[in-house]
Amino acid sequence: MGLFNIFSREKKERLDQGLEKTKSNIFTRISKAVAGKSTVDDEVLDSLEEILVTSDVGVATTLRIIERIQKRATKDKYLGTSELNKLLKEEIVALLQENNLQDFTEFSVPGDKKPYVILVVGVNGVGKTTTIGKLAYQFKKSGKSVLIGAADTFRAAAVEQITIWADRVGFPIINQGMGADPASVAFDTVKSAIARDMEVVIIDTAGRLHNKINLMNELSKIRKVIQKLIPDAPHEVLLILDASTGQNAFEQAKQFTAATEVNALALTKLDGTAKGGVVIGISDQFKIPVKYIGVGEGLEDLQVFNRVEFVDSLFN
């Protein structure tokens, strides 16, 4: 870590700050659970269970983690506080690594896709529009040209909201006003990006609950329409999840994937008291990488997700 450049150390500090609450909470509780003990007994495992479940990891994943710890603990006889912390961290990282997810290190898009099309989806109020604003800011900062499609034509003042972000960051948007057909906006945006030789396209969509079939079909339609222009687009379908969401996030991941072939996740609002353990659970069950995390409402408050750093921040 010591040789990391200043920029990434800064990044890490922000993440640490965002996760401070979680960290100290879990840390002190584990420490309490193992204080004065040299083995992993039922009481310790019960505490671990509580810690993981209260972090929204979910019962099923928690049981898997506990099982692993139990197995390890029967091998390694003597355990103190620090060993247990290390063991727990290792097991969670290992669980995530089993899914062979690649790690992302920076805000970048593959150079061979031009324009690189990102479709942003998710339930209501999770932070789609805000994440798009922050993401566009990052791409712009790294010198990429970005065009945004205002395809949330439903929620009151949604177009105005993304327009304000556009002014703030300085990116152009394509909009057809409220009530327009979102697929048509998406089509227009991609078409225009091709004509203008833009590098990145991000399509904002209206929030929708995953159990509403018509609205999910609308997303599939947006996807199809984009493919008329670029057969292998959208290259990235980014599902936004709110860190405070509980077990329903699993159903969201499932249904949005069924409708739009989600291939990346962003987890927002990790700057709150929500533990973010939902990432562990979802990464365990879906082979979709978590790409970004949101840690605030400002321009800079988006980070590239790094599994090891994430678990580190949780337990170190």
Partner 1 sequence: MFEGLSDKLDRAFKVLKGHGHITEINVADTLKDVRKALLDADVSFKIAKQFTDQVKEKALGQNVLTAVSPGQLMVKIVHDELAGLMGGEKADLLIKGDPAIILIAGLQGSGKTTFSAKLANYLKAKKGKKPLLVACDVYRPAAIEQLKVLGQQIDVEVYSEDSANDPVKIAKRSISHAKENGHNIVIVDTAGRLSIDEQMMDEISNIKSALNPQETLFVVDSMTGQDAVNTAKAFNDRLDFEGVVLTKLDGDTRGGAALSIKSVVNKPIKFVGLGEKMEAIDIFYPERMADRILGMGDIVSLVEKAQEQFDEEEAQKLQKRIARNQFDFNDFLAQIKQIKKMGNVKDLLGMIPGMGKAVRNLDIDDNAFKGIEAIIHSMTPEERVNPAVMNGNRRKRIAAGSGTTIQDVNRLIKQFDDTRKMMKMVTANKGKNMANVMRNMKNMN
Ligand X SMILES: Nc1nc2c(ncn2[C@@H]2O[C@H](COP(=O)(O)OP(=O)(O)O)[C@@H](O)[C@H]2O)c(=O)[nH]1
Interface with ligand X (CB under 6 A): 122, 124-130, 155, 207, 209, 268-269, 271-272, 294-297, 301
For partner 1, which is the closer residue by CB, 235 or 275?
Answer: 275
Question: Which among 243, 265, 268, 244 has a CA at the least distance from the CA of 254?
Answer: 265
Q: Which of residues 281-310 bind partner 1 (CB under 8 A)?
A: 297
Question: Which among 81, 74, 79, 67 has a CA at the least distance from the CA of 29?
Answer: 81
Q: Considering CB distances under 5 to 8 angstroms, the limit depending on partner class, which of ligand X, Mg ion, partner 1, none binds residue 122?
A: ligand X
Cβ at position 87, least distance to ligand X in Å = 31
**How buried is residue 128: exposed, middle or buried, by Cβ count under 10 Å (0-12/13-18/19+)?**
buried
Cβ at position 50, least distance to ligand X in Å = 26
Cβ at position 39, least distance to partner 1 in Å = 24
Q: Considering CB distances under 5 to 8 angstroms, the limit depending on partner class, which of ligand X, Mg ion, partner 1, none binds residue 294?
A: ligand X
Cβ at position 150, least distance to Mg ion in Å = 9
**How buried is residue 4: exposed, middle or buried, by Cβ count under 10 Å (0-12/13-18/19+)?**
exposed
271 binds partner 1 (CB under 8 A): yes
- Distance CA(184)–CA(122), nearest Å, equals 19
For partner 1, which is the closer residue by CB, 79 or 153?
Answer: 153
Cβ at position 297, least distance to ligand X in Å = 4
Cβ at position 302, least distance to ligand X in Å = 8
Tell me which of 155, 176, 227, 299 binds partner 1, using CB under 8 A.
155
Site size toward partner 1 (CB under 8 A) is 44
For ligand X, which is the closer residue by CB, 66 or 239?
Answer: 239
Q: How far, CA to CA in Å, does 271 sit from each of 29, 276, 298?
A: 20, 10, 12
Residue for token digits 């533990």?
Answer: 275
Residue for token digits 């700057």?
Answer: 271
129 binds Mg ion (CB under 5 A): yes
Beta-bridged to residue 310, according to DSSP, are none
47 binds partner 1 (CB under 8 A): no
165 binds partner 1 (CB under 8 A): yes
Both tokens assigned to 36: 């004065």
DSSP three-state, residue 147: strand
Residue 67 CA, chain-centre distance (Å), reads: 27
Cβ at position 205, least distance to Mg ion in Å = 8
Q: How far, CA to CA in Å, does 87 sit from each of 98, 262, 281?
A: 16, 32, 18
Cβ at position 140, least distance to ligand X in Å = 18
- Distance CA(201)–CA(41), nearest Å, equals 53
201 and 149 Cβ atoms separated by less than 8 Å: yes
Binding mask 3-42 for partner 1 (x = CB under 8 A): ------------------x---------------------
Peptide bond before 115: cis, by omega within 30 degrees of 0? yes
268 binds Mg ion (CB under 5 A): no
210 binds partner 1 (CB under 8 A): yes
- Distance CA(300)–CA(14), nearest Å, equals 10
Q: Which of residues 146-205 bind Mg ion (CB under 5 A)?
A: 152
Both tokens assigned to 248: 């329903």
For partner 1, which is the closer residue by CB, 162 or 226?
Answer: 162
Can you say whether residue 197 is alpha, beta or left, with left for phi > 0 and alpha for psi between -120 and 50 degrees? left
- Under the rule (CB under 5 A), what is the footprint of Mg ion? 128-129, 152
- Under the rule (CB under 8 A), what is the footprint of partner 1? 21, 50, 53-56, 58-59, 123-127, 154-158, 160-161, 163-165, 168, 209-212, 242, 244-249, 251, 269, 271-275, 278, 297
